[in-house]
Amino acid sequence: MARLQIDAVSKRFGADHAVREVSLDIADGEFLVLLGPSGCGKSTLLRMIAGLETPSSGRILVDGTDVTDEAPQRRDLAMVFQSYALYPHLTVAKNIGFPLRARRQPRARIAARVSEVAATLELSALLERRPAALSGGQRQRVALARAMVRDPGAFLMDEPLSNLDAKLRSATRAELIALHQRLGATFLYVTHDQVEAMTMATRIALLDAGRIEQVGTPEELYDRPRTAFVAGFLGSPPMNLFPAEVNWRDGSLRVQADGIDAALAITAESGAGTRVLAGIRPERLRIDATATAVRGRVTMVENLGSEELVHVTAGSVRLCVRAARPAGVQVGEDIGLRLDPGDIHLFDPDSGLRLTWQEPQDDTAGEEAAAVSDVA
């Protein structure tokens, strides 16, 4: 069991900043996913926690103890890599038992522990095979078993599913969730795959260019993205984002762009005449012949089997609508789109920060409040 604290950790490679002042407090037993595009610094951050890379500045604590300068084997952590890194000449049993042999544990104890862990991961029948005679999914489980054998306080995993095909990936996701519940250990899991993050994480830390954009539950990031980057990164297809203006008309605030004029759930007069970046998720736009909020023309309809993606151009704004199939519209048709005022997200077009006029100012981050007063 382990709590992991990352305190203002940075990593430079020459002049390049791979990780910039990242702070994270990961509670014992959490399943925290580090999510972000390729090259954003996820692996570098994980490797610093594992002790495979030294931070340029900042501290790493495991259960309150500063381990920043400790060797990897002296941190109570186990790492699982994308490549599995199994020893090809050793059997599955020897691969799994390797960390215990390296620590000179008694033979009988190693055998007992290997068979216990192998049973947990359904590897008992494969113990005498070598890695070459295993499928990708089985190799991945051996790598996990080898990490589990020491009973570490935390598991650090770097894209462990990315070499598996889609079907096996989804099965293994479910297995990892079950394993996490069974072990009750801390999982720190790196991926660029938003589906893995949304389905497995108790919390997600979304990184971009070495910086944390937002930390929160999957629901918080999806429903209340702190920045336009988060809004655009989560969701498939992604949130529609377009430049707009907030204006006062007929006693209410409206978000307006060429082809769009929709009421906002805002009562305050602040913000009128303000440039914004407006966002609306494809599944929140509803096709409605009588709707006036958005008037546009259908440019393409994509059939996904269970649903359809309808591409609409409203003035100069291009929108994607996700609708049940059949959506019942034709390319070239002029249609209306309806939306709930509460489904419109507003961001500062310069800083990208969420604007929260319409929301209660509860635990809202300081930057948000500052961003509002910037433009108000």
Enumerate binding residues for Mg ion (CB under 5 A): 43
- 122, 141 in Cβ contact below 8 A? yes
Interaction pattern, residues 317-336, with ligand ADP; x per rule: CB under 6 A: --------------------
Pick between residue 43 and residue 95 the one whose CB is nearest to Mg ion. Answer: 43
Q: Which option in ligand ADP, Mg ion, none does residue 13 bind, with CB closer than 5 to 8 A by kind?
A: ligand ADP
Helix (H, G, I), strand (E, B) or coil at 150: coil
Helix (H, G, I), strand (E, B) or coil at 256: strand
Shortest Å distance, C-beta 23 to ligand ADP: 17
Q: Which option in ligand ADP, Mg ion, none does residue 274 bind, with CB closer than 5 to 8 A by kind?
A: none
Shortest Å distance, C-beta 34 to ligand ADP: 8
Pick between residue 37 and residue 243 the one whose CB is nearest to ligand ADP. Answer: 37
Shortest Å distance, C-beta 19 to Mg ion: 12
Distance of alpha carbon 16 from alpha carbon 41, whole angstroms: 11
- Work out whether 13 is an interface residue with ligand ADP (CB under 6 A): yes
Encoded amino acid at 252, one letter: S
Q: Which option in ligand ADP, Mg ion, none does residue 354 bind, with CB closer than 5 to 8 A by kind?
A: none
- Work out whether 38 is an interface residue with ligand ADP (CB under 6 A): yes
Distance of alpha carbon 280 from alpha carbon 250, whole angstroms: 23
320 backbone dihedrals φ, ψ, rounded to 5°: -110, 130
Pick between residue 221 and residue 298 the one whose CB is nearest to ligand ADP. Answer: 221
- 371, 354 in Cβ contact below 8 A? yes
Q: Please identify which residue in 32, 41, 169, 180 interacts with ligand ADP, judged by CB under 6 A.
A: 41
Measure Cα distances from 270 to 198, 208, 266, 360, 374 in Å: 35, 31, 9, 15, 11
Pick between residue 13 and residue 87 the one whose CB is nearest to ligand ADP. Answer: 13
Interaction pattern, residues 44-83, with ligand ADP; x per rule: CB under 6 A: x---------------------------------------
Shortest Å distance, C-beta 79 to ligand ADP: 13
| Of 312, 331, 308, 328, the residue nearest 320 (C-alpha) | 312
Distance of alpha carbon 42 from alpha carbon 81, whole angstroms: 13
- Work out whether 191 is an interface residue with ligand ADP (CB under 6 A): no
Measure Cα distances from 73 to 3, 79, 328 in Å: 17, 11, 61
Phi-psi region of 94 (alpha: psi -120 to 50; beta: other; left: phi over 0): alpha
Note the residues at the interface with ligand ADP (CB under 6 A). Answer: 13, 18, 36, 38-44
